[in-house]
């Protein structure tokens, strides 16, 4: 066959994504369809420690719709991943099992290190990555659940640290103050500055940062 049709599914903390690709020697990788659906799974995990039953059902319904779209495109193979929203949930195994039973999809849970490794590979494929990391470079990945800061120098990874200050996690931590705009903004700033200052003191020290690569939704 001159081409293959594959799909990727991202079960994220804030939304679900389905991408369908055509891969061929002639055209390379072409996106045929991209579907997104907002469902805040991380809201449950970051506040109560587990995903609510209603969200599990909604999640399965959306993923079942994704499988129908995949059939329309005659998808030959797929990869489905999830990260902190299910990884940190006390009932994460139950959620994954229910997805498998109701949709037939097998969703793999990425560890934080696996997630970052895939991120580095994507950057290497899309940028002059090896040239950038010849000198001090910080990669800042801002997600819904956390911020990952990775420092590179002389083509080597110096350190990588996960700071649990993702946009959705912060919102849920400070939800009770969300109507008090003045204090809400001040608390967010203090929360972020405190952790960033700790990171700088422990890991950055006198290291010079020449490049910053910021990624995330």
| Burial class, 208, CB count within 10 angstroms (exposed 0-12 / middle 13-18 / buried 19+) | exposed
The pLDDT assigned to 101 comes to 97
- The H or E element containing residue 37 is strand 28-38
Q: In this predicted model, what pLDDT tens digit does every residue of 110-157 receive, in sequence order?
A: 998 898 888 888 888 877 778 878 888 888 888 888 888 888 888 888
Helix axes 53-72, 41-48, angle to 10 degrees: 150
- The H or E element containing residue 140 is strand 137-142
Q: Answer for the pair 19, 33: CB distance below 8 angstroms, yes or no.
A: yes
Q: Answer for the pair 45, 84: CB distance below 8 angstroms, yes or no.
A: yes
For residue 69, what pLDDT band results from cuts at 50, 70 and 90?
A: very high
What tokens appear for 20 in the block? 């369908």
Q: Answer for the pair 25, 2: CB distance below 8 angstroms, yes or no.
A: yes
CA–CA separation, 106 and 84 (whole Å): 17
Among left, alpha and beta (phi > 0; psi -120 to 50; other), residue 104 is left
Q: Is the pLDDT of residue 1 over 70?
A: no
Q: In this predicted model, what pLDDT tens digit does every residue of 81-117 receive, in sequence order?
A: 999 899 999 999 999 999 999 999 999 999 988 988 8
Entry pTM: 0.79
Higher pLDDT pick, 1 / 20: 20
């Amino acid at each position: 066959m001159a081409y293959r049709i594959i799909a990727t599914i991202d079960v994220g903390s804030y939304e679900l994504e389905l991408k369908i690709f055509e891969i061929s020697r002639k055209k390379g990788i072409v996106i045929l369809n991209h579907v997104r659906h907002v469902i805040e799974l991380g809201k449950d995990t970051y506040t109560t420690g587990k995903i609510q039953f209603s969200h599990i059902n909604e999640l399965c319904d959306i993923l079942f719709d994704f499988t129908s779209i995949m059939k329309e495109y005659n998808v030959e193979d797929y990869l489905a991943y999830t990260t902190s929203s299910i990884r940190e949930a006390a009932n994460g195994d139950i959620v994954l099992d229910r997805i498998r039973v109701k949709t037939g999809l097998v969703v793999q849970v990425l560890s934080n290190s696996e997630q970052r490794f895939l991120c580095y590979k994507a950057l290497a494929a899309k940028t002059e990555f090896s040239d950038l990391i010849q000198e001090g470079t910080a990669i800042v990945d801002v997600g819904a659940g956390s911020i990952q800061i990775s420092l590179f120098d002389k083509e080597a990874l110096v350190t990588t640290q996960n700071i649990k200050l993702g946009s959705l996690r912060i919102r849920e931590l400070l939800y009770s103050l969300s109507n008090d705009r003045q204090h809400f903004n001040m608390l967010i700033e203090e929360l972020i500055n405190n952790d960033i200052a700790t990171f700088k003191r422990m890991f950055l020290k006198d290291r010079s940062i020449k490049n910053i690569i910021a990624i995330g939704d």
